[in-house]
A = this chain, B = another copy of it.
Amino acid sequence: MNTRENPTNDPSLESWVESARGHGDFPIQNLPFGVFTRRTDGELACVGVAIGDSALDLSACWEAGLFAGTPVEHVNVFARDSLNDFVEAGPEAWSAVRGRVSELLRTDTSTLRDDAAVRDTALVEQGKIAMQLPMRIGDYTDFYASAYHATNVGKMFRPDGEPLLPNYKHLPVGYHGRASSIVVSGEEVRRPMGQTKADDAAPTFGPCRLLDYELEMGFFIGVENSLGARVSVEAAKKHIFGMVIVNDWSARDIQKWEYVPLGPFNAKNFATSVSPWVVTLEALAPFQVKHTTRGADDPPLLEYLKGADEDAYDIQLEVGIASAQMRTVGTAPHIVSRGSFRDMFWTITQMAAHHTSTGCNLRVGDLLASGTVSGPEESARGCLLELTWRGTNPITLPTREERKFLADGDELVMRGWCERAGATRIGFGECRGIVTPAE
């Protein structure tokens, strides 16, 4: 079966959960997975699915016997503080569980709809839960897959040379990131201290002065490859569980001084935020589109990177900033950029294939991120470095505050969603984070 035509994605489906029937992020065609705790008491975390303005506690559903007949019927893999055990159960289990949840939430299925006791336990308003990091992440890798972003950075930092380095169009450049400091949307991000150096001065240690965000998409590995085994572009999708929005917070002044010759280190290791709901590739299938960013003049692909012609995803992305002052007066986040993930030069399948081309093992829960998502338009630049062109062209907020880089108290709000004619709009929710002062 073509996953694009998966019955769980059928636009004619409707849920008896009323809030899922509008144009929000979480209709019955989405059903992303996350981990939450109820805010009330010291309750344990559980795995859930977002539906409209609510979340469905899959552990409670399991206890009620609603997953009988699925691959997870024998162990409650939802009574966990991460998705890992569920994801370890494999692609058939993901699909079967999502199918069962779709069935349970459909207008015409009474099982859960009419069982007040189970329903009132399992269905909880999102406003009453606290989302957790969805996966226990072993390794985190960050790519640099937008040629628009890489070109802009190249123009700024190497004005006299070719903006793209010679390797850029031959392989998806990436580097190992820091897994320990990945936090879920909503957690505050402290401005880091660090060593920086002004051009004609000695290095100093102090609060980062050029704090930036980077809008990225991330994908979680769902099926591991053993050490020494390569994953082809064609097979890669079967290894990917789903996607989230990623904010790769970046200290530009720390990065500038430290990054030669081994790449970014302290400039990126203080925090990375991810959105809490993992949207499965199954739900995203209707939004897969032709991968069109590689042009006729670009160098030919080596064989191991071919086969991704249909592997782009049209995910609309936007970034908003709300300063402390804006939040005080109740002004909505000011949208500073809008773009699409389809504009990336490299696909997620090429990233996974390249990463494993040496035999490197990707494990369940590993996070791979795309690098800054920037598009061809100036309005589609995914970080302040590009948007303000290193601070030379500041942004003005509705409060008339100017921003070259982030100020303490600024809240970043990233949103992502997919829509097209003939399919139901689905979304990722938000990836938020407020910058708190250095300490």
Interface of A toward B, CB cutoff 8 Å: 138-139, 141, 144, 165, 167, 170-171, 173-181, 183, 190, 192-195, 197, 202-205, 227-228, 230, 251, 254, 257-266, 269-271, 299, 302-304, 354-355, 357-363, 366, 439
Contact check, B259 vs A261: say whether CB atoms are below 8 A apart. yes
Instruction: Sample 5 A-B pairs with CB under 8 A, ordered by A number.
Output: A167-B197, A167-B257, A181-B227, A205-B303, A205-B304
Contact check, A177 vs B180: say whether CB atoms are below 8 A apart. no
Contact check, B262 vs A358: say whether CB atoms are below 8 A apart. no
Give the number of copies in the complex.
Answer: 2
Contact check, A266 vs B360: say whether CB atoms are below 8 A apart. yes
Question: A170 vs B361: C-alpha distance in the bound complex, in angstroms?
Answer: 35
Chain A contact residues, majority secondary structure? loop
Collect the chain B residues with CB atoms within 8 Å of residue A192's CB.
358-359
Known contacts: A181-B227, A302-B204. The answer to whether A193 contacts B358 by CB under 8 A is yes
Collect the chain B residues with CB atoms within 8 Å of residue A176's CB.
175-178, 265, 269
Contact check, B171 vs A195: say whether CB atoms are below 8 A apart. yes
Contact check, A228 vs B190: say whether CB atoms are below 8 A apart. yes
Question: A362 vs B270: C-alpha distance in the bound complex, in angstroms?
Answer: 11
Q: How far is the CB of A170 from chain B (nearest CB, A)?
A: 5
Which one, B183, B254, B261, B354, contacts A358 given CB within 8 A? B254
Question: A354 vs B270: C-alpha distance in the bound complex, in angstroms?
Answer: 12
Q: Which residue of chain B is the closest to A254 with respect to CB atoms?
A: B358
Known contacts: A176-B176, A227-B183. The answer to whether A193 contacts B357 by CB under 8 A is yes
Collect the chain B residues with CB atoms within 8 Å of residue A254's CB.
358
Collect the chain B residues with CB atoms within 8 Å of residue A266's CB.
354-355, 357-358, 360
Contact check, A251 vs B173: say whether CB atoms are below 8 A apart. no
Collect the chain B residues with CB atoms within 8 Å of residue A227's CB.
180-181, 183, 270-271
Question: A261 vs B173: C-alpha distance in the bound complex, in angstroms?
Answer: 8
Other than A193-B230, A203-B302, A262-B263, give 15 A-B pairs with Cβ distance below 8 A.
A139-B178, A141-B265, A165-B260, A176-B269, A180-B360, A183-B227, A190-B228, A193-B357, A194-B357, A195-B304, A266-B357, A269-B358, A269-B360, A270-B358, A270-B360
What are the 3 A-B residue pairs with the smallest beta carbon separation, nearest first? A263-B263, A192-B358, A176-B176
Question: A259 vs B271: C-alpha distance in the bound complex, in angstroms?
Answer: 23
Which one, B228, B264, B439, contacts A228 given CB within 8 A? B439
Collect the chain B residues with CB atoms within 8 Å of residue A228's CB.
190, 270, 439
Collect the chain B residues with CB atoms within 8 Å of residue A303's CB.
205
Contact check, A362 vs B180: say whether CB atoms are below 8 A apart. yes
Collect the chain B residues with CB atoms within 8 Å of residue A355's CB.
266, 269
Collect the chain B residues with CB atoms within 8 Å of residue A167's CB.
197, 203, 257-258, 260
Contact check, B180 vs A366: say whether CB atoms are below 8 A apart. yes
Question: A205 vs B302: C-alpha distance in the bound complex, in angstroms?
Answer: 7
Question: A205 vs B170: C-alpha distance in the bound complex, in angstroms?
Answer: 11
Question: A398 vs B13: C-alpha distance in the bound complex, in angstroms?
Answer: 74
